[in-house]
Amino acid sequence: MKFTLQISKSPSRASSLFRTSCSLLASISLLLNTANAAGANTIVLDETGVRNLRIETIMVEETDFEETFFSLGHIEAVPGNIAAVSSRISGRIVELMASPGDFVEKGRDVARIESRQPGDPPPVISLEAPISGLVTERPTRLGDPINPDTAIMEITNLEEMYAVAKVPEHLAGKLKPGTKAHIRIIALPDENFDGELIRFGTSADEESGTIDAIFLLPNPSKRLRSEMRAEFSIVLSKRSNILSVPRSALQGEAANRFVYVKDFDLPNAFIKTPVIVGEMNDRYAEIVSGLFPADDVVTRGAYSLSFAGASSISLKEALDAAHGHEHAEDGSELTPEKKAAMKKEHSGHSHGEEPSNAHNGSISPLWKYSTILLGLLLVASLFGRRAVTEG
């Protein structure tokens, strides 16, 4: 009974060792594959490459994420900020001191009128600007006769403007006074404007199914002008502490999104990092997983990095320069044992020996796995024989 019992246990022990060996081999394979993938997904540039691609990065952080919708519209002057210059007496224009496009200050003389009252010479009066602003119209000419009901010129104060968005009727009910909008002016692409909803238009457009939403827009630079085209990103809701990146950082197709993250240690190195994306608005994309706060992601130049292989230096060269010692082609540490094996392999090739499956001085992973598996199977076999002998 003892001999039979030992025989039944032996194969069980050998089988267990075999399963353990396979599990260990799979773990080693996964680690090697992960290391190789990390090397393959790392792009290292020199200083010239970074300048040529105009690489710019931004630090990932948790911010307020806004749900927005897009709309088109235009800029208008605030009606209460428009004033006319006119005369209280009849006469003719003898001098005009401001032209369309000029900025004038309140109280400055802008025209002179010769009165029709008799005199030698006839009385002349000066007309002052009623407000500060831009001369937007001047329909009169020097010498034109004028009456009290004649507007000599128009002045518009540009410190605040209206931004009028065409909002679909089904979304208008979600907007209330105070709703924010990020506004991009086609003529001023480098400036950012934020407006606040003050009211809706008096009627809807039956053909387009939209209604005017009027936003008050500060204009500190005074560069906004009436009838400029505008693009609106109108905020519907807001969530706090959301990890997000600019949409320009996202690369790949909808089912396979990735970004390039700047390596923390290696200068001018960028790692292709898969990400899972949540909601997106016109400017940002929510990142569900794949990034951490303080990661530096590439915004400008991200698309070009995908084609930077020809101009990039190798991972080995970059690591050698950064750490001051040699590395293998895949970026792994070059140990004395690995270096000796590479030297032996090179020596074998120089004497006309049949080349092995090594690539760039490294031993083929398949050869490594086979050797490890054979060794583990040999150990399992020895344990099995020992158990049988003991029985």
CATH of residue 143: 2.40.50.100
Phi, psi of 261 (to 5 degrees): -110, 135
In a domain, 322, yes or no: no
- Same domain for 231 and 164: yes
Q: What is the pLDDT of residues 230-286, one digit of tens each?
A: 999 999 998 999 999 999 999 988 888 999 999 888 888 899 999 999 988 888 999
pLDDT the model gives residue 192: 87
Q: What is the pLDDT of residues 322-331, one digit of tens each?
A: 445 665 655 5
| CA–CA distance, 141 with 152 (Å, rounded to integer) | 9
- The whole-number average pLDDT for the span 128-147 is 95
- Same domain for 217 and 73: yes
- Same domain for 130 and 175: no
pLDDT the model gives residue 121: 86
pTM for this predicted structure: 0.61
In a domain, 325, yes or no: no
- Same domain for 260 and 231: no
Which of 284, 315, 346 is the last residue before a domain boundary?
Answer: 315
- Same domain for 86 and 220: no
Nearest alpha-carbon partner for 65 in 218, 196, 190, 247: 247
- Same domain for 311 and 251: yes
In a domain, 132, yes or no: yes
Which of 127, 156, 185 is the last residue before a domain boundary?
Answer: 156
Give the lowest-confidence range in 7-11, 164-168, 198-202.
7-11
| CA–CA distance, 93 with 152 (Å, rounded to integer) | 9
Structural domain of residue 6, as residue ranges? 1-43+335-391
Q: Kindly state the percentage of the chain with pLDDT values over 70.
A: 70
- Same domain for 27 and 13: yes
In a domain, 324, yes or no: no
In a domain, 320, yes or no: no
- Same domain for 169 and 142: no
CATH of the domain at 221: 2.40.30.170
- Same domain for 72 and 198: yes
Residue 276 vs residue 348, higher pLDDT:
276
Q: Kindly state the percentage of the chain with pLDDT values over 90.
A: 49
Residue 311: pLDDT band with limits 50, 70, 90: very low
In a domain, 210, yes or no: yes
Residue 3: pLDDT band with limits 50, 70, 90: very low
Phi, psi of 50 (to 5 degrees): -65, -40
In a domain, 323, yes or no: no
In a domain, 86, yes or no: yes
Number of domains in the chain: 4
Give the lowest-confidence range in 12-26, 162-176, 299-313.
12-26
Q: Which residue has the tokens 């540039």?
A: 45
Other C-beta atoms lying within 10 Å of the C-beta of residue 205: 12
Which of 217, 239, 261 is the last residue before a domain boundary?
Answer: 239
- Same domain for 136 and 103: yes
Nearest alpha-carbon partner for 309 in 57, 53, 13, 26: 53
Provide the pairing of β-strand 269-274 with 42-44: antiparallel
- Same domain for 72 and 195: yes
- Same domain for 145 and 172: no
Q: ∠366-369-373 over CA atoms, to 5°?
A: 140
Q: What is the pLDDT of residues 37-57, one digit of tens each?
A: 455 678 888 888 888 888 899
For residue 227, is it left (φ>0), alpha (ψ between -120 and 50) or beta? left
Cβ–Cβ < 8 Å for 153, 138:
yes
